[in-house]
Structure 1
């Protein structure tokens, strides 16, 4: 009994703290793999963290702060064993757009707003997780999200050109950025441009040809791939050497400058209710996009190891990570695609790899920041540009055009709105497009008239197959649950078919794909039944599922049904074929 109680207690604890499920069985082999993965991810994450902080309009050290406490918080509460959280490009861009509306950059108010944005995002995600509302993410169309991320990638890359060229530019959308940069084209710093362009070319080369070069040196493809992930660090070190050795600061190249050493302090930010109201909607938008991106990466990696993740627990884990970021001077974070893949490929077994990564970032924040003074902003801009190139995927337009014009239109509108009006309007448009697509599809379910396939007991669409039908029997199959949004569509279809076939004496509603009938749809069925009865037509149901039959029985609908309930469609057809005149 005591053992059983302990086992149940352990399962309950593991539901709230997933780390409790794998920590008791943690091995030396797993420790070695996690340490190796942590070293590789730390090397990759340092320049990324600095770059994404600047993308969000924040001091570089804030990127380091957002890569320490959040990783530890997610390691405790997250359900994925290999997802790596931290600052990411899209969330950073969305943060910059939101923060720019409430405070000026390089001010204490701007940093305070960033911390509050992370807290609000975390609280929203945590609340959704506690209420078990992870399923809401399913209502966001993935093609629409892909379109938004593609447009965001273009905006991010374009916004970094100013650092690459060494000019002053501003704007939250493509027209503003283009106009601003064109106006400052005469101020281009050739040293900054040469430095940034060189890093871009080097990083692009490292992604393509470097792996083949390393393989010629007898390294395995996997090892070569992991080494190439450290290419941004090589770019950072090389440009720091050039900037300090050739006094590029004196030649107008903008540097990161002095970065305070030390760990972030845990603080409770002082904020006003007005600021909360201003940042609440942007925080929700960032949370939604971040969660969808994170859950997609987490599911993909978990499937490769035959593991699974809990969507509701992921909300709690990401919520905890964002709250930890807010309390430690950071900004919104989420699961990053590139660093999670690197973490996975490096052999990470558990979330202790992320804890070790956080310790590595903490050591960097304490001891390495003085060496980053001469880091050119053009280098970080180049790192961002190359990183976001993988986000840009225009093939989604071609794929959706071929498969679904409605999806294509939703993706196209999302991309255009994001580019022309900014990320806030873009994500709002994306959410709206997803909802509209869902409502459109549920309001017009696939409805087919079916007939008997000769020599079988199967019934198929008369438009697709050679089938047998009788003019006196009309069989309609609805491939969707009946709800308030689509019941009228079914009613119109039945009346339309009867109007074109006056010989009809029996109408059979084939319910094999109907999983639920809500009250509005039930009232519509009652109306159909009465209208058909008044016209001398019998209304029948076939292949009704158990839960649906239970609901219909409770409502009293079966007592007023003019026709019968048949177990199979074949039984309905053969029975009524022999009795075409009566019910």
Structure 2
């Protein structure tokens, strides 16, 4: 029973307040009006039948309501995952011609994503979401937005293009237009649909723009007989809900699906953590990466067992739920129930929905993925970050979605390494009449202390940067009157074996020149590591609790100043 009480859904039910019920019910009704068209549209984006989008929406909403920790987060088919699913599934399913096999492959992909997420939650690997930095995510999403937009243009104009890759798809679309393959009625429906959604979202942000556009397009198809003018319609959906099903795939399919599953896990987790954090700040909740991994994993597990495909968090649908007054995951349960009732009792409700209208939904979603103002801001604020974003964008646009996510991850990791390799550092001095120590390069009035070089090194001292540390200290020690080099080491949070070896060599070479190497504010755990790796590298009397104490000792001519221990100085181990 104690295990059962730890399940988020059980906890939510036990603490539910009656006054929330009406708000959750209303929000669930509003949310369902968005879930249906988006679920169908994103299923087609993934190269799957529209009904699978509804199956996926139902199962993931119910599963996350039980296992998800967030009160208002809404999961479901997502535009950022659609291309990744299509790239993984369609080549194995005869280019999408075998829809049954495509569904089975997509379901297996969801199960593989679920296994990775649940295993990651058990291993407390929620931090992997941090492998994608904001600039690389921005570039990835910009490239994804362009890829989705170009891929949906032929459908918007009522024809098909058989091409892979952004450049080929653009060429195929333009050739189709030149050959007159576009269907005028389809193009009219699609373009008007995009305009209606964008105008309503801008001028009436609280209005259900997607639902209004869908209803208008269904009405237009019925009134004007658009099917007779060459416009493809969704048609009647299969009645009922699929049974519990284990996907029938080949062993040889698992290898190609594995890479896509890993990429989907990373994108889905990063998106979920970011969205959950944003909404948690408004409700006073705290985000637990491990619990979110478990919640998303269980949602994907449920989707995979009922002919669905991988899911992620939707920021737009979560925002709709919150604006509609959602208080708990009951909102998602209400949405799932309403979708179920529709496909069981009224599967023909959207039979006259034009396919270009679904393309319009996807295109508008792709536009919301792009962050052009943010990219421009990167250009003005930090060119290195802009370059990372641009490379991630080009990786997705030119090489494809899956290689693009790999490039994004690699760039983020390399950026971390670059920061460790080239950390912030400065030579410090005094400004007459002011307390503290100041960077000589950024404060023209700061002056060095004759004979004492104060060097601030703001990074862990590791193999990647220890040579730069050694070279800089060596140059500083070459000044004619230098007797002490004092490292302000408050930000030196770690040290490795390579760094300790180099540090010992540096200390010995400086002593040969008559220069002593001292440390101030060196954290106790770091000092202990140095002593364990290279005993005697730093003598106890060469470590000071503060830079000010070191300066006082230097001015007093006491090179053998004995630093007080942690208890005498009143400093904790982590503050020394």
- Identify whether the pair has TM-score above 0.5, normalized to the shorter chain: yes
Q: 1:178 aligned to 2:178?
A: no
Note if contact 2:40-2:50 (Cα within 8 Å) is conserved in structure 1: yes
Q: How far off is 1:129 after superposition? A: 1.0
Q: 1:413 aligned to 2:408?
A: no
Note if contact 2:501-2:534 (Cα within 8 Å) is conserved in structure 1: no
Q: How far off is 1:106 after superposition? A: 3.7
Q: 1:187 aligned to 2:165?
A: no
Q: 1:492 aligns with which of 435, 446, 471?
A: 471
Map 1:183-262; keep pairs closer than 5 Å. 183-185=175-177, 186-209=180-203, 211=204, 225-226=205-206, 228-229=207-208, 231-262=209-240
Question: Residue 502 and residue 431 in structure 1: after superposition, are their counterparts in 2 closer, same or farther (change >3 A)?
Answer: same
- Residue of structure 1 in register with 2:569 after alignment: none
Q: 2:495 aligns with which of 517, 526, 529?
A: 517
- Residue of structure 1 in register with 2:30 after alignment: 40
Q: 1:366 aligned to 2:356?
A: no
Note if contact 1:53-1:62 (Cα within 8 Å) is conserved in structure 2: yes
Unpaired stretches in structure 1, ≥5 consecutive residues: 1-8, 212-224
Query: Deviations along 1:390-416, whole A, 9 cap, x unmatched?
Result: 212122322112222211111011112
Note if contact 2:477-2:515 (Cα within 8 Å) is conserved in structure 1: no
Residue aligned with 1:370, SS: coil
Residue aligned with 2:40, SS: helix
Tell me, in whole angstroms, the C-alpha distance in 2 between the residues paired with 1:383 and 1:581: 73
Q: How far off is 1:77 after superposition? A: 1.6
- Residue of structure 2 in register with 1:160 after alignment: 152
Unpaired stretches in structure 2, ≥5 consecutive residues: 562-576
Q: How far off is 1:553 after superposition? A: 4.6
Tell me, in whole angstroms, the C-alpha distance in 1 between the residues paired with 2:239 and 2:227: 22
- Residue of structure 2 in register with 1:112 after alignment: 104
Map 1:17-28; keep pairs closer than 5 Å. 17-28=7-18
Q: How far off is 1:156 after superposition? A: 1.1
Q: 1:77 aligns with which of 67, 77, 91?
A: 67
Tell me, in whole angstroms, the C-alpha distance in 2 between the residues paired with 1:468 and 1:496: 18
Note if contact 2:541-2:560 (Cα within 8 Å) is conserved in structure 1: no
- Residue of structure 2 in register with 1:217 after alignment: none
Tell me, in whole angstroms, the C-alpha distance in 2 between the residues paired with 1:102 and 1:535: 69
* Stretch moving more, 548-557 or 432-441: 548-557
Q: 1:472 aligned to 2:451?
A: yes
- Residue of structure 2 in register with 1:62 after alignment: 52
Residue aligned with 1:103, SS: helix
Q: How far off is 1:331 after superposition? A: 0.7
Number of residue pairs matched?
556
Tell me, in whole angstroms, the C-alpha distance in 2 between the residues paired with 1:557 and 1:542: 19
TM-score (normalizing by structure 1): 0.91
Aligned Cα root-mean-square deviation (Å): 2.0
Q: 1:126 aligned to 2:118?
A: yes
Q: 1:276 aligned to 2:270?
A: no
Tell me, in whole angstroms, the C-alpha distance in 2 between the residues paired with 1:368 and 1:95: 29
Q: 1:382 aligned to 2:374?
A: no
Q: 1:91 aligns with which of 81, 87, 98?
A: 81
Q: 2:409 aligns with which of 408, 411, 431?
A: 431
Note if contact 1:473-1:508 (Cα within 8 Å) is conserved in structure 2: yes
Residue aligned with 1:100, SS: helix
Q: 1:304 aligned to 2:296?
A: no
